[in-house]
């Protein structure tokens, strides 16, 4: 498969790791923002290839993990209604709410359907004029264009039985929050390549200048990730703080202008509550007034009630990179992918689930590389 296998070449991976070892003279802590990258790092054992002076901490870039509990509760309320077909990406179904989850509501008779794309939810709305179809729109700037297109398509088709429960989030304000924390120990970031494929790179420049922190826009395959780390360490070792683009084959500096226009047309920037991180100003996307008819929160008159997180779950610290998942006392015992206490154990992109899946088997780099 083109653009996949060559980026998993085991010799190249080893040589890149060696190059990183050569240039590293001091301890550095790097954070990869995106859960997809966390997953790849553990799956291919990339962390084991790095010198011990480089610590990778895992960022909040897993939409399943950061969708706030109050939004999950709203989803559960809507999904339990008999006049509703509730549609969602599959990995939201097992996210634990206070007393239940979507999977349980489904088993109790709720009409909950897993879709691959929000456009599929629009199709379902077209086929079921007597039911109301709600799509649970979670995700970062990568998912927002698909959601926006679904709104426009539903609008064009005049579908009045379609709405979205929106919990879209933006990456840069979350990085700002992490960098502003007094206990922040992150020296450089790998930014999520696909978010930048949509939004471009410019949003990250103020962060680089204000906090003097290297940010390298990075892809998702082992070669990409190690190359991104090499670029970030190279900056740190030479005292530079710049915005660099490793993932140049997919990311243009301006991003995808059509996608940005689409997001801008349908959404406005709003404050958003993040699970584990709290309320972050300007960190969310909400439906504009012009499309208010498609906003499920307004449509169902839902209120947001702050719901307390389970006290045992350290997800806030994990999402900030302050604790590794296996430092959580519940990890692998009271909290497992089958019985998750917190969202990072649910999604394959969640750091806790990735640690559980790959770390417990103590992967060696050689055994995981094809």
Partner 1 sequence: MCLAIPGKIERVSDASLLTRPGLVNFDGVVKEVSLALVPEAAPGDYVIVHAGLALSRVDETEARQVFAYLAAIKELGEIEDRAR
Q: Tally the C-alpha atoms within 13 A of residue 88's C-alpha that lie toward its C-beta.
A: 27
In angstroms, what is the minimal distance from the CB of 346 to ligand SF4?
Answer: 8
Instruction: Give the range of 172-180, 181-189, 289-297, 312-320 binding ligand SF4 by CB under 6 A.
Output: 312-320
The residue among 60 and 342 lying less far from ligand SF4, judged by its C-beta, is 342
Is the separation of the CB atoms in 252 and 272 below 8 Å? no
User: E strands of 206-365, at which residues?
Assistant: 215-218, 243-245, 267-274, 278-287
Question: Contacts with ligand SF4 in 248-307 (CB under 6 A)?
Answer: none
By CB under 6 A, residue 354 contacts ligand SF4:
no
Q: Is 344 in the site for ligand SF4 (CB under 6 A)?
A: yes
Between 40 and 188, name the residue whose CB sits nearer to partner 1. 40
Given the rule CB under 8 A, which residues bind partner 1?
Answer: 1-4, 6, 9, 11-12, 14-16, 18-19, 34-36, 39, 61-64, 89-92, 116-120, 138-140, 142-143, 145-146, 149, 152-153, 156, 194, 197-198, 220, 223, 227, 246, 248-252, 256, 258-259, 262, 347, 349
Q: What token pair was written down for 360?
A: 């417990």
Comparison of 166 and 354: residue with beta carbon closer to ligand SF4: 354
99 burial level (CB within 10 Å; 0-12, 13-18, 19+): exposed
**The binder of ligand SF4 chosen from 33, 84, 229, 318 (CB under 6 A):** 318
| CA separation for the pair 363, 130 (Å, rounded) | 51
Q: In terms of C-beta density within 10 A (0-12 exposed, 13-18 middle, 19 or more buried), how is residue 339 classed?
A: exposed
Q: Are 341 and 335 in contact (CB under 8 A)?
A: yes
Distances from the Cα of 143 to the Cα of 45, 72, 203, angstroms: 28, 18, 18
Shortest spacing between CB 10 and partner 1, in angstroms: 11
Which option in partner 1, ligand SF4, none does residue 117 bind, with CB closer than 5 to 8 A by kind? partner 1
């Amino acid at each position: 498969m083109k653009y996949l296998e060559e980026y998993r070449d085991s010799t190249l991976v080893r040589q890149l790791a060696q190059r990183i070892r050569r240039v590293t003279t001091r301890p550095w802590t790097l954070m990869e923002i995106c859960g997809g990258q966390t997953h790849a790092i553990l799956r291919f054992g990339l962390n084991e290839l790095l010198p011990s002076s480089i610590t990778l901490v895992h960022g909040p870039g897993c939409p399943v993990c950061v969708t706030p509990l109050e939004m999950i509760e709203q989803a559960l309320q809507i999904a339990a209604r008999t006049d509703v077909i509730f549609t969602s990406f599959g990995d939201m179904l097992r996210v634990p709410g206070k007393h239940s989850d979507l999977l349980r509501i489904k088993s109790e008779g709720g009409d909950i359907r897993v879709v691959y794309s929000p456009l599929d939810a629009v199709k379902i709305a077209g086929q079921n004029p007597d039911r109301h179809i709600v799509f649970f729109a979670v995700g970062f700037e990568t998912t927002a264009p698909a959601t926006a297109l679904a709104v426009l398509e539903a609008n064009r088709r005049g579908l009045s039985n379609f709405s979205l429960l929106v919990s879209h989030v933006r990456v840069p304000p979350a990085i700002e929050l992490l960098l502003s924390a007094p206990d922040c120990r992150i020296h450089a970031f790998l930014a999520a390549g696909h978010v930048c494929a949509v939004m471009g790179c410019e949003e990250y420049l103020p962060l680089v200048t204000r906090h003097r922190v290297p940010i390298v826009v990075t892809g998702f395959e082992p070669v990409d990730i190690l190359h991104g780390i090499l670029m970030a360490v190279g900056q740190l070792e030479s005292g530079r703080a710049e915005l660099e683009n490793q993932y140049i084959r997919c990311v243009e500096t301006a991003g995808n202008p059509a996608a940005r226009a689409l997001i801008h047309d349908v959404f406005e920037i709003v404050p958003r509550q993040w699970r584990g991180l709290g309320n972050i100003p300007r960190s969310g996307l909400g439906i504009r007034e012009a499309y208010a008819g498609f906003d499920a929160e307004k449509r169902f008159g839902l209120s947001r009630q702050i719901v307390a997180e389970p006290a045992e779950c350290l997800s806030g610290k994990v999402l900030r990179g302050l604790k590794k998942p296996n430092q959580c006392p519940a990890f692998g015992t009271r909290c497992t992918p089958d019985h998750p206490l917190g969202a990072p154990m649910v999604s394959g992109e969640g750091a806790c689930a990735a640690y559980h899946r790959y770390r417990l088997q103590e992967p060696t780099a050689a055994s995981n590389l094809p």
